[in-house]
Amino acid sequence: MPGRAGFVAGVLLGCTLWAGLWAASGRAPSATASPPESPVRQAAPARPATVPWDPPGEGFIVWESNRSGRWRLWTRRLDGTGLRQLTPEAPEAPEDSDRPHCCAHVSPDGRWISYLSLEPGPERYPEGRPETGVLRLIRPDGSGNRVLAPAARAYGEHRAAVWHGPGALVYIDGEGHTVRLDVATGKSERLTTAPHPMSGWLINPGLTHAVAGVPTFSPYDPERRKVTELQALGGCQAYFTQDGRWGYWIAGAGGPIHKMDLRSRSVSVLFGKNDERMPGGQGYLYFPMLSADRRLLAFGASAGEHDHFTADYDIYVTEVDPERLEVLGPVVQVAPHPATDRFPDVYLAPVPLGVHTGEAPFTVRLTAPVQGDWNLGDGSQAQGAAVEHTWTRPGSYRVVVRSGQQALEGRVRVTAPRPPEVEGVTVRERRLVVVRFDEPVETGGLRATLASGREVRGARLEGGGRELVIELAAPLTSPDTLRLDGITDRAGRPNPMPAREIALAPDVWPVDRDGLLFLWENAGAPNRVFDPLQNVERSFPVESRGEARIDAHQRMDLGAGAFVAANEASEAVVEGARRANQLTLEVTLEPRRRAQNAPIVSLAGAGAQKTNLVLAQAGEELVLRFGISQHGFVEKEYRLGRVAPGRSTHLVVSYRPGLLAAYRDGERVVETDLQGDFFRWRPRPLVFGADTRSENPWSGFLEGIAFYGRAFGPEESRESARRSLERAGKRPEVPAVRIRGRLLARSRIPTLQDISPYREALAVYEYRVEEVIAGAAPPVSPGNVVRVAHWVILDGRTLDTARRREGETFEILLTPFARNPQLESIFISDTLPADRTRVLQFDAGR
């Protein structure tokens, strides 16, 4: 890939001002700097970095630390000097000394740092209310400390602002609105029409996506000033790159750090948990933040401790490829200390001759405002005001031009040549095949064909050359193979991609997305539907309650709990039914017990409120209760046939005026004349399973849940059943064995404070097998010792498994932990002595 060449006007001024940022450390003060409002405390010199590091320029790191006894912001230069406390003990008054300082964020030009001065309170994330404080601004040298907003919120953890350029700051006000503030004039405008119910939305600089702490990366419409919330991915601490292209977050307890291309929503790893490049075994990662130019990544890490208020986290920084967001290394420790250091931000000053990245051989034309002598970093020399040079070997090169006493610097990073790689393939609307590459490509010699002989109508590049969109002449209705040839990257010497064959698979389910109002395929699917009224794709968050969980197949695993959809889901279903005067519910279910008496899918209120729709199990049968406006409001009840434990059942319930029909596994079980409309339907909670207060909750599994604003006929019902049941039948079986084991030892049971901000946790126990009750795998026999991960906290409540005592005997359903991908983002307490000979198991029982 060619880099950006040439001298950028105005950079010299920025580099001149850089000298004023460190007045407090003994350098010459800036002519424009205001005197500090309070002294900046100088700390002891930083210990040497754990590995040698030549920083890629001047800059600094700022982070939260309680090393002084209070939570204050600390800072240090990239070269390892200048460690000091940045924010004073009381920026406003002596009574302010107890206010923690947090949420530091550096402006793109490095001139300012915004932060929150929080209301005093216990050292934990607050439950059920936002974390609030005063939004303040300070210069990197400690001067100019002032109030920007008297009331502001953190978005769930310690992120409180996004810089939209050097002079505009987006933050969450005290009411939960997202506000854009002009720092110089104080003028502000709201970017959202309604406040967030809990914390607030932070919106990326491109005004395209927003997050409220959890990684949804939801689309933002600046004209409507509205966020369309999507389903959350696992993890927390979601944030954006300054160019608006990427999102990144902590994808699980202690890592890894994931990244998402916001245009394609392609997800990959930015930095792994327990990465071998981490020194001292400190591979438990949190608090990631990229510099504005995406060249540096700062984060915190511990040796396995989690608590964000007491654990010994240290701050690290490493270089990153700004185009691919790949860590280049080495990883450097910043001012280690036994206190808790967290939530860093990092600034890297621009260099006069620019930063250029490309593949060998890499040619760049560099221009300087002066005539001078050039050292090109690879042993080559040149003279003049401009030079064009080719670097032939991979490496990082410092380029310097000298004229008298003046020296200007630039950076050239050359990577090894390699062809572009396919990151992923998506089929949209069954006619558009989108191939995503890891870098911009050229397609002048493109040859795209399908193995089936289907016609390819055309192709075009989108997304800055990273997406190849291939239009098919007819919808893709069966699996096929796409053959691609003639693609190169955009390097100075283009690298051709070898001919590729890519498997294409159409959507197995739903059969037809027309009229789709709500979708929950499984926890691993995007679960997005197109909203034609708002012209956006949306998905509806579904949250677990009680002991409901996700199983190894990403299905809802119900029992002593429920999953509850966001209020917007109920509104969408009710409004869609009213608009079309038709409705279909589709679901695949598998009961755990033969006879039960509990709701399975409910769109209904409690008490005297009227039922819209309830699907329940009554004994061994499925029962539908359906409300309809018919000269008043009437409720009808229909028997839908028997179900059996351990067997998937596909169900369709469909209504249009004059006909209510139900199909079980594609066969019609109900057909009745029914007249009426949905005028009296009201948005009620959309619940899967039984309320957590229920004495007899439904126990079983749900997947493939959809509501449509249209009626199904017999053919579509049969085809949908065939596809759903066939998919369930082809699922790889997760090996399981039921044992009786005696508890030998258990890990420490975490508290909610230990795992904050999470509300669910696992813990590892050790058992001696006394009896194999059923099953043959994983291979265990009496006398074996097994290690088992148990749920110990769900929905913020400590479970009975946490109260088990050594010496007692328990029945356990063992499955290999590695075969349970739904557990990847869950906090796990494992304080038992290390023993790599024992493969970790998971208790999948109820």
CB proximity list for 693: less than 8 A, separation 6 or greater: none
For 521-582, strand residue ranges (E) read 529-531, 536-538, 542-546, 549-550, 556-558, 561-565
pLDDT digits (tens, 9 = 90+) for 776-812: 766 788 999 999 999 999 999 999 999 999 999 999 9
- Whether 615 shows a pLDDT value over 70: the answer reads yes
pLDDT at 673 over 90: yes
pLDDT digits (tens, 9 = 90+) for 622-632: 999 999 998 88
Please name the residue ranges forming H helices in 208-290.
none
Q: What is the mean pLDDT of residues 271-288?
A: 92
Please report the domains of the chain, with CATH numbers, ordered by start residue: 34-348 (2.120.10.30), 422-504 (2.60.40.1220), 516-730 (2.60.120.200), 737-843 (2.40.50)
> Does position 12 have pLDDT exceeding 60, yes or no?
no
Local structure of 776: helix, strand or coil: coil
Can you tell me the distance from the alpha carbon of 436 to that of 424, in angstroms, rounded to the nearest whole number? 5
DSSP string, 444-509: TT-EEEETT-PPEEEEEEEGGGTEEEEEESS---S-EEEEEES-EE-SSS--BPPPEEEEE----S
Location of structure tokens 């020296």 = 407
Do the strands 841-843 and 827-829 form a parallel or antiparallel pair, or are they unpaired?
A: unpaired
Report which of residues 95 and 439 the model is more confident about.
439
Query: How many angstroms separate the CA atoms of 82 and 43, rounded?
Result: 8
Mean pLDDT of 520-548: 88
Separation CA 624–CA 311 (nearest Å): 52
pLDDT at position 51: 54
Report percent pLDDT > 70 for the chain. Answer: 92
How does residue 96 score in pLDDT terms, banded at 50, 70 and 90? Answer: low
| DSSP-derived secondary structure letter, 48 | P
Q: What is the mean pLDDT of residues 386-411?
A: 93
Structure token digits, residue 35: 């005197």
Asked if 323 contacts 439 with a C-beta cutoff of 8 angstroms, the reply is yes
Write the Ramachandran bin of 280: left for phi over 0, alpha for psi from -120 to 50, otherwise beta: left
DSSP 8-class letter at 376: -
Reported residue count of the chain is 846
Residue 622 Cα distances to 125, 686, 759, angstroms: 44, 18, 33
pLDDT category, 234, cuts 50, 70, 90?
confident
- pLDDT tens, residue by residue, 814-828: 999 999 999 988 999
Q: What is the pLDDT of residue 156?
A: 84
Confidence of residue 34 (pLDDT cuts 50, 70, 90): very low
List the Cα angle 722/727/733 in 5-degree steps: 140
**Residue 128 pLDDT > 80, yes or no?**
no
What is the C-alpha to C-alpha distance for residues 468 and 259, in angstroms, rounded to an integer? 21
Mean pLDDT for the stretch of residues 437-463: 93
Question: What's residue 25's pLDDT?
Answer: 31
Taking alpha carbons only, the member of 373, 378, 403 closest to residue 389 is 378
Q: Please give the Cα distance from 588 to 101 (Å, whole number).
A: 50
Q: Compute the mean pLDDT over every residue in the chain, rounded to the nearest whole number.
A: 88
pLDDT of the residue at 649: 97
User: What is the pLDDT averaged over residues 237-254?
Assistant: 94
Burial of 65 (0-12, 13-18, 19+ CB in 10 A): buried
Query: 172-224: per-residue pLDDT in tens?
Result: 999 999 999 999 999 999 999 999 888 899 999 999 999 998 999 999 999 99
- Give the containing element (helix H, strand E) for 400: strand 395-403
Sheet strands (E) in 547-658? 549-550, 556-558, 561-565, 583-591, 596-604, 611-619, 621-629, 633-642, 649-656
pLDDT band of residue 266 (cuts 50, 70, 90) is confident
pLDDT confidence of residue 465: 93
Contact 766, 745 (CB under 8 A): yes
Strand 381-391's sheet: what is its strand order? 355-359, 406-415, 395-403, 362-375, 381-391
Q: How far is it, in rounded angstroms, from Cα 735 to Cα 816?
A: 7
pLDDT band at 91 (very low <50, low <70, confident <90, very high): low
More confident residue, 377 or 530: 377
Taking CA atoms, 268 is separated from 251, 306, 700, in Å, by: 10, 24, 33
pLDDT at 694: 67
Q: Give the global pTM.
A: 0.85
Kindly state the average pLDDT of the residues 30-42: 32
- When pLDDT is averaged across residues 675-693 and rounded to a whole number, the result is 88
Which residues are within 8 A (CB) of 386 and not within 5 positions of it... i.e. 6 or more apart?
Answer: 365, 366, 367, 368
* DSSP structure class, residue 751: P
- Pick the range with the lowest mean pLDDT from 175-189, 240-254, 336-350, 746-760: 746-760
Res. 666: pLDDT tops 70: yes
- Residue 333, pLDDT > 70, answer yes
538 vs 507: which has the higher pLDDT: 538
Residues 6+ apart with CB under 8 A from 569: 518, 540, 542, 686
User: For residue range 473-482, what is the model confidence (pLDDT) as tens digits?
Assistant: 998 888 899 9
φ, ψ of residue 192 to 5 degrees: the values are -130, 145
For the chain, the first-to-last Cα distance in angstroms comes to 54
- Calculate mean pLDDT across residues 267-293: 93
pLDDT value of position 338: 95
pLDDT of residue 93: 60
**Percentage of residues in the chain having pLDDT higher than 90:** 71
Residue 29 reports pLDDT greater than 60 = no
pLDDT of 154: 94
For residue 288, give every residue at least 6 positions away whose Cβ sits within 8 Å of its Cβ, in sequence order, or none: 237, 239, 248, 249, 250, 257, 270, 271, 297, 298, 299
